[in-house]
Amino acid sequence: MEPADAKKELRQRMLAVRAEIPEASRTEQSLAASRMAELEVLSPLRSQRGGKLNVFCYVSFRDEPNTLAFMDRCQAQGDRLLVPKIGAQRSLTLHEVTGMADLVPGTWGILEPASHTVIWPPERYPEIDVIVVPGLAFDLKGGRIGFGGGYYDRLIDELARCSGGLNQVVLGALALEELILPEAIPMESHDFRLDLLFTAKGTIYMKESSDKLGKLGIRARHDAF
């Protein structure tokens, strides 16, 4: 089966799996994952980078892992928070927000930055310290499958071009236990890999990112999930 066909099949299967996760479990896992992210990754990275971070995070929708607790923790520590906004022709812009008052329903009813919020231009992408992306499923080698729109593939590609690579940014996701697969996710040439997964049981670090995370002051462990 071609990777694109395999991804389409996997996407449908994981949509069904995620829909079956009880809301209480999703909320509990999301809160715990946010706590572990702060303890194991964000706090050490702040120490290494002078106290505050530039964090990009999507706003969760429906049965996605809840990102609001993660966002609240970042802002409570004084981090600058960047949130995506979908535009015409599948474009994605980043906006700086200061709280829930800066968010309004947008495309598909997803909360997104209001018109008064400041756009973070591509030339400032190299200043981003952490990017948290959505996904339907993840594997233990950094593989991820999204919703098929390609928004984040294009964002990460643009970030890499502006920054001369991805060595200074941590790429992660809030991952519910049910969405982490033991088998490899089919990947195509335009797909990017994550450095880590934030889970309720602790952070899962990708071995391929060990050197990068070590240089960023993050002690990566590779315990079995």
pLDDT for 82-111, tens place per residue? 999 988 777 899 999 998 899 999 878 889
Q: Which residues make up each annotated binding site for ATP? A: 7-11, 144-152
pLDDT for 202-218, tens place per residue? 999 998 899 999 988 88
Among 73-82, 164-173, 181-190, 215-224, the range scoring the smallest mean pLDDT is 215-224
Distance CA 209, CA 195 (A): 5
CB 178 within 8 A of CB 211: no
Query: So what's the architecture of 3-216 in CATH?
Result: 3-Layer(aba) Sandwich (3.40)
CB 199 within 8 A of CB 180: yes
Q: Which residues make up each annotated binding site for substrate? A: 59, 64
The angle subtended at Cα 134 by Cα 59 and Cα 179, nearest 5°, is: 125
Q: Which residues make up each annotated binding site? A: 7-11, 59, 64, 144-152
* Sequence ranges of the domains in the chain: 3-216
